[in-house]
Homo-oligomer: A and B are copies of this chain.
């Protein structure tokens, strides 16, 4: 990805805490393809903005605010994956597409895409007809 944003860091810390119970600077750096020093720098900023608890030589923790926001970011990522999958985007494109667009959509657009995914799940006939178009 391009230079990861604040949102990418919070998302990644959240995912690592969820998966392993801890988020090490080195693991976050590797996941985002950046230097550990970039993670440290961002961690200081996120600490000042009350998203992250950061103490030198310790793993990263999320504050209550950080946890809430991380959960929202992960939900958005999942939702966009579901959206692209249900309309038939090829599996190998989905992750890259979501990483590319997730930080650039308004929450208003996300709400509407959330409704759209729910509506498509409820209307299998619509999805069936949608998939038929793909074959032409």
Contacts and interface: CB of A to CB of B under 8 A. Distances in A.
Given A87-B116, A112-B87, A119-B130, A100 B101 contact: yes
A23 B96 CA distance: 34
A90 B106 CA distance: 10
Count of identical protomers in the assembly: 2
A49 interface: no
Interface of A is mostly: helix
Contact of A104 (B100, B106, B129): B100
A104 B112 contact: no
A97 B104 contact: yes
Task: Categorize the interface residue count of chain A.
Answer: 20 to 34
Contacts of A97: 104-106, 109
29 contacts: A84-B109, A84-B112, A87-B115, A87-B116, A88-B112, A89-B108, A90-B108, A93-B106, A93-B108, A96-B106, A97-B104, A97-B105, A97-B106, A97-B109, A100-B101, A100-B104, A101-B101, A101-B104, A101-B105, A104-B104, A111-B134, A112-B134, A115-B133, A115-B134, A116-B130, A119-B130, A123-B126, A123-B129, A126-B126
